[in-house]
Structure 1
Amino acid sequence: YGDGSIIIIFTPGHAPGHQSFLVRLNNSGYILLTIDAAYTMDHWNDLTLPGLVCSAVDTVDSVKKLKKLAKEKNALIVTGHDPHAWEDFKKAPMFYYD
């Protein structure tokens, strides 16, 4: 939107043109949507690589880039395919409205 509320981050690895998103909510702070750059928290925490990647090197580099950004922004991490992490998230409509 031009106001920095949504930032697109180039994160190749899963696919050559893959993108992740950093969303800024005025009252809730930052949420990092890794999409398929990090499938699960196991991948995020360097315990495993996802099963389908175009480039393992790019995948690792992209997660490093996202980790740095998440730390700088104190962002909530939302991976692309982790049903176990879902249990810990606040659910709409009660939360994440700004």
Structure 2
Amino acid sequence: MAWSLSRWLMFTRAFQLQGALTSAGLNGFLTAWVSVKRLGLTQSMCVLELLICILLLYTVLALILQNTGRRTQKKGWLVTFVSLDILFCAADI
């Protein structure tokens, strides 16, 4: 039996969640290390951590909202989440 579009989106969203968790954890560790060792915490490091945390929250929110009920089969929700994915990826780049 073939997977529907919503199953593929959930599968790719799980990879997005794993990537966001990994980058948030590693960057958080690096930021804490630099802060504890007093190596000169810069504003760009804090902004990067903030962007990663926003992406992580968006991914969790999208995963919950998109895959509860019958929202995954409505075109409006899919267009909204794909548009926001593109926007967040552009902001992170």
**TM-score bracket relative to the smaller structure:** 0.3 to 0.5
Report the TM-score when normalising by structure 1: 0.33
Q: Which has the higher helix share?
A: 2
**Higher alpha-carbon Rg:** 2
Q: Which has the higher strand share?
A: 1
